[in-house]
Amino acid sequence: MGDTFDVDLFVIGGGSGGVRAARISAGYGARVMLAEEYRVGGTCVIRGCVPKKLMVYAGRFADEFEDAAGFGWTLQPPRFDWSVLKARRDAEVTRLEGIYDANLIRAGVEIVPERAVIEDAHTVRLTGSGRCVRARVILVAVGARPVKEPAIPGTELAITSDGVFELESLPERILVIGGGYIAVEFAGVFASLGARTTLLHRGDRLLRGFDDEIRDALGEAYAKRMDLRLGRTVQRLERSGGAILAHLDDGARVEVDQVLVATGRRPYVAGLGLEAAGIALDGAGAIPVDAYSRTSVPSIYAVGDVTNRANLTPIAIREGHAFADTVFGGRPTCVDHRLIPTAVFSTPEIGVVGHNEDVARAACGEIDVYKAAFRPMKATLSGRDERTLMKVLVDRASDKVVGVHVFGHDAGEVIQAVGIAVTMGATKADFDRTVAVHPTAAEELVTMRVPAVTKTPVGVG
């Protein structure tokens, strides 16, 4: 065609969104180059979901060993070796990284192991070699980075989630600051592995945005597993011999060996050249895009956490795929961000699809709340003091299930399957006519007959 472009697509960032976009676009015949400054696989594979979940598995053996006694087992006191877990986890991450690399290469994508910045609407500069590449389309898929907020004195003594994967030993005592996904998941991991764990959060409940009763159930469970301090902030950190001393707002001090700050992540846009290209960021520092992931510059698109829509791996993958379908597949495709099943890998786990109770009330008016709170069967013999909680929220007018919340073992697995039904628009009657699988915990979801609460909100009806 004789255009002046070196490639059809230049992808900046080899994480979940960028890799999917690159592979699918190349499959449509596009000439694709992808730059990754660190390791292909991105946050999810290298220092997020995957290695985190492996650590969650590691932690859960502690419960299994304890629970086994109630089922007749006698075990030697088990011993945990962090260095074995680290080495095996890191090897698995490296294996996956290799698969990501190989898949890109097999698809015909040229991988450039360098940082890339935007020079203008069609030009990317590779900062290592200084080479400039002209691209018909640029896709920004650089993700987000953990931040240490607020900036308190001594914050340099703390690590973020990235640092967790570099720890050479299990800290004896750790303070985790934050109440979101990352704080909750890692506090659970460290506590299970045997670290004396303090989880400190400024709010009065963990996991803002989740259903309040699920949040309460998690708080109750975590208070038994660790030192949980809600409604507290840390004012400063200081060295104290080989330890770190955290000074809290109530005058208390907590002495620990590590501090993990997990107070959020921000789009990784610094120095990327977005201003030069004419792209202004939104209030959260993210790249604004339209429903097709296109920025205000027609030749530049963005997907994944850098756009701060729903910061989850499967969403980044979908956005990357939809981008490729739209731009190179001749099939304009939007991602529906409305109904997203999700899980928090705390122990016990949380799985959610749809609205929480407050949002459901606001969105639907009259809802019925079906609830089951029970001791899981395994706990009857293990003697473990824990509860499972399930909620099904139903729009009374249409009988549609608008929210399902599960707190208990395997909640992530359960919610993935329930998510299909809810995505299809299942009604409570559909749940009711589904035969129970017995004996399981999940059967409660199809055997709830009487609403627990049938409040009519003020001003409705």
| Interacting residues toward ligand NDP by CB under 6 A | 149-150, 178-183, 185, 201-203, 208, 262-265, 311-312, 342-345
Cβ-based nearer residue to ligand NDP, 113 or 203: 203
Cβ-based nearer residue to ligand NDP, 201 or 229: 201
Report the nearest approach of ligand NDP to the CB of residue 187 (Å). Answer: 11
Report the nearest approach of ligand NDP to the CB of residue 281 (Å). Answer: 18
Report the nearest approach of ligand NDP to the CB of residue 180 (Å). Answer: 2
Quick count: other Cβ atoms within 10 Å of Cβ 332? 11
Of the candidates 122, 201, 337, 438, the residue annotated as catalytic is: 438
Report the nearest approach of ligand NDP to the CB of residue 296 (Å). Answer: 25
Cβ-based nearer residue to ligand NDP, 185 or 319: 185
3-state DSSP of the chain: CCCCCCEEEEEECCCHHHHHHHHHHHHCCCCEEEECCCCCCHHHHHHCHHHHHHHHHHHHHHHHHHHHHHHCCCCCCCCCCHHHHHHHHHHHHHHHHHHHHHHHHHCCCEEECCCEEEEECCEEEECCCCCEEEEEEEEECCCEEECCCCCCCCHHHCECHHHHCCCCCCCCEEEEECCCHHHHHHHHHHHHHCCEEEEEECCCCCCCCCCHHHHHHHHHHHHHHCEEEECCCEEEEEEECCEEEEEECCCCEEEECEEEECCCEEECCCCCCHHHHCCCCCCCCCCCCCCCCECCCCCEEECHHHHCCCCCHHHHHHHHHHHHHHHCCCCCCCCCCCCCCEEECCCCEEEEEECCHHHHHHHHCCEEEEEEEECCHHHHHHCCCCCEEEEEEEECCCCEEEEEEEEECCHHHHHHHHHHHHHCCCEHHHHHHCCCCCCCCHHHHHCCCCCCECCCCCCCC
Report the nearest approach of ligand NDP to the CB of residue 61 (Å). Answer: 20
Cβ-based nearer residue to ligand NDP, 308 or 382: 308
Give the separation between CA 294 and CA 291, rounded to whole angstroms.
Answer: 7
Based on the residue annotation, tell me whether 438 is a catalytic residue of this protein. yes
Residues 296-321: b if buried by 16+ CB within 10 A, e if exposed: ebebbbbbbbbbbbbbbbebbbbbbb
Q: Using CB atoms, what's the residue nearest to ligand NDP?
A: 180
Report the nearest approach of ligand NDP to the CB of residue 372 (Å). Answer: 23
Cβ-based nearer residue to ligand NDP, 222 or 345: 345
Cβ-based nearer residue to ligand NDP, 86 or 201: 201
Cβ-based nearer residue to ligand NDP, 247 or 396: 247
Give the separation between CA 45 and CA 41, rounded to whole angstroms.
Answer: 5
Report the nearest approach of ligand NDP to the CB of residue 18 (Å). Answer: 17
Report the nearest approach of ligand NDP to the CB of residue 197 (Å). Answer: 16
Active site residues: 438
